[in-house]
Amino acid sequence: MGFSKGVFLIVYLLLVFFKPSLSNFSLSSKELSEVPINFLKSAKKSEVFDWMVGIRRKLHENPELGYEEFETSKLIREELDKMGISYKYPVAVTGVVGSIGSGKPPFVAIRADMDALPLQEKVEWAHKSKNPGKMHACGHDAHVAMLLGAARILQENRELLKGTVLLVFQPAEEGGGGAKKMIDAGALENVEAIFGLHAASHLPLAEVASRSGPLLAGSGFFEAVISGKGGHAAIPQHSIDPILAASNVIVSLQHLVSREADPLDSQVVTVAKFQGGGAFNVIPDSVTIGGTFRAFLKESLIQLKQRIEEVIMGQAAVQRCNATVNFFSKEKPLFPPTVNDKDLHKLFQKVAGDVFGTDGVKDMQPVMGSEDFAFFQEVIPGYFFFLGMKDDTMKQIPSPHSPYFRINEDALPYGAAMHASLVVRYLLESQTETPMGTGDFHDEL
């Protein structure tokens, strides 16, 4: 067989095998770019918008802490039932994993977190939290409403799905490692990629922001009890003062970043808790300090953890105190850094560009905050982005985790449309363009 005959045969075979998908792809390339706009139109319809707002307000009135999201989870399941979407429950205590599409591979997932924070809401409005000391102050009520919005759009357009979309509703994002428990419970089995978003009050409405590579830091928490010997504040020689010892510990901890870390490898050590004593004239027996440490590299995070312990123990001993350090390895596992997959970043830019226009898609600097979405990204390629919801009617923008925090409900349709468009396009394009990158045979043709 001559060379040209061989090439001809290969091209012929490729055409025979790929003709259907090629013709579908070329036919639908315009439709592909129209998917996001059509989804946004659907999400903005008053019927869908009002429904999402209603869900969000119901959740806002009834915030539940990590692993206690029983009513939240129930509401989600009731809505999925109404839409005829099947799901697995319970996954990691209160978690729910819905499924839309063929039920066959490829599987792609979109995720929302369900938990609230232990805060007393200070915003006076019709749908204020009814649970004392609990509040949706991070926008997870809106995240759930948007994922349900996406579910509705996807279910209505399920003929577009070339595979299966999993709707991952996870518990305990706020330090509880709910994502890790979802993975342990098998939520990501056979899943190729996962997308997640966070509402961002500083970013204008109808904009999104993210980046390829490291986006958010990895983090850990620590607490230390420094014990001395209490006594009369006027007779210090008879006491061992744990307040002064703890103060020196805190100052020494600041040297870990300023003197031991590479200045180009961003890290944070913050002592945010300092408790001890209570009277003006009594040296207490012990002091409790606690805080968080952050880094973008897992090695740096592990190094910080080790040095925090050494500094606390050593510095306490210098001042004749004893110390114990707790890193909450069980309740608050070390969060890995949130690192975005570069191929998913390309898909995100295309899809977001179709929803918001290229001006609405911003590249951002990494941030030292962290997200337990990172656990998913340790297992499979994942992509996390911020959804703008700035409210121009407000003079001051309340920060997340503040008792004055507020969501701009006008952002809900954008989040729902982004979620839905990302997975539809992922499934369509993974069968034509292979964004996950095993081959670029179309370019060869």
Ligand X SMILES: *[C@@H]1O[C@H](CO)[C@@H](O)[C@H](O)[C@H]1NC(C)=O
d(CA 151, CA 153): 6
Q: Which does 41 bind (CB under 5 to 8 A by kind): ligand X, Zn ion, none?
A: none
d(CA 252, CA 269): 11
Quick one: 108 or 321, whose CB is closer to ligand X?
321
Is 60 known as a binding-site position?
no
Quick one: 20 or 278, whose CB is closer to ligand X?
20
Q: Which does 20 bind (CB under 5 to 8 A by kind): ligand X, Zn ion, none?
A: ligand X
We find the least distance from the C-beta atom of residue 202 to Zn ion, in angstroms, to be: 14
Quick one: 127 or 158, whose CB is closer to ligand X?
158
Q: Which does 228 bind (CB under 5 to 8 A by kind): ligand X, Zn ion, none?
A: ligand X
We find the least distance from the C-beta atom of residue 140 to Zn ion, in angstroms, to be: 6
Quick one: 200 or 423, whose CB is closer to ligand X?
423
Query: Is there a contact between 192 and 266 (Cβ–Cβ < 8 Å)?
Result: no
Tokens representing residue 79 in the block: 């809505």
Q: Which does 288 bind (CB under 5 to 8 A by kind): Zn ion, ligand X, none?
A: none
Task: Kindly indicate which of the ranges 4-12, 57-65, 136-144, 183-191 contains the residues binding Zn ion, using the contact rule CB under 5 A.
Answer: 136-144
We find the least distance from the C-beta atom of residue 17 to Zn ion, in angstroms, to be: 45
d(CA 430, CA 440): 11
Is 321 known as a binding-site position?
no
d(CA 301, CA 294): 7
- Contacts for 56 with CB less than 8 Å, ≥ 6 apart: 141, 142, 144, 145, 407, 409, 412
Nearest to 422 by CA among 97, 76, 108, 211: 108
Quick one: 24 or 270, whose CB is closer to ligand X?
24
Query: Is there a contact between 169 and 73 (Cβ–Cβ < 8 Å)?
Result: yes
Pairing state of beta strands 267-276 and 338-340?
unpaired
Tokens representing residue 306 in the block: 């080790």
Tokens representing residue 318 in the block: 């210098």
Q: Which does 138 bind (CB under 5 to 8 A by kind): Zn ion, ligand X, none?
A: Zn ion
Q: Which does 24 bind (CB under 5 to 8 A by kind): ligand X, Zn ion, none?
A: ligand X
d(CA 172, CA 231): 42
The binder of Zn ion chosen from 138, 150, 226, 271 (CB under 5 A)? 138
Residue 134 Rama label (left phi>0; alpha psi -120 to 50; beta): beta
DSSP letter string, 402-438 = STT----GGGHHHHHHHHHHHHHHHHHHHTTT-TT-S
Q: Which does 97 bind (CB under 5 to 8 A by kind): ligand X, Zn ion, none?
A: none
We find the least distance from the C-beta atom of residue 240 to ligand X, in angstroms, to be: 5
Interface with Zn ion, residue 407, by CB under 5 A? no
We find the least distance from the C-beta atom of residue 436 to ligand X, in angstroms, to be: 17
Quick one: 385 or 426, whose CB is closer to Zn ion?
385
Q: Report the interface residues with ligand X, using CB under 6 A.
A: 20-21, 24, 227-229, 240, 321-322
Query: What is the layout of strands, in order, in the sheet containing 286-295?
Result: 267-276, 286-295, 218-227, 322-326
We find the least distance from the C-beta atom of residue 227 to ligand X, in angstroms, to be: 4
We find the least distance from the C-beta atom of residue 232 to ligand X, in angstroms, to be: 17
We find the least distance from the C-beta atom of residue 102 to ligand X, in angstroms, to be: 11
Q: Where are the alpha helices (DSSP H) in 175-258?
A: 178-184, 242-255
Counting every residue, how long is the chain?
445
Quick one: 23 or 399, whose CB is closer to ligand X?
23
Quick one: 218 or 242, whose CB is closer to ligand X?
242
Q: Which does 240 bind (CB under 5 to 8 A by kind): Zn ion, ligand X, none?
A: ligand X
Kindly state the DSSP code that residue 163 receives in the 8-state scheme. S
Q: Residue ranges for the binding site for Mn(2+)?
A: 138, 140, 174, 198, 401
Tell me which residues touch Zn ion (CB under 5 A): 138
**Which residues participate in the annotated binding site?**
138, 140, 174, 198, 401
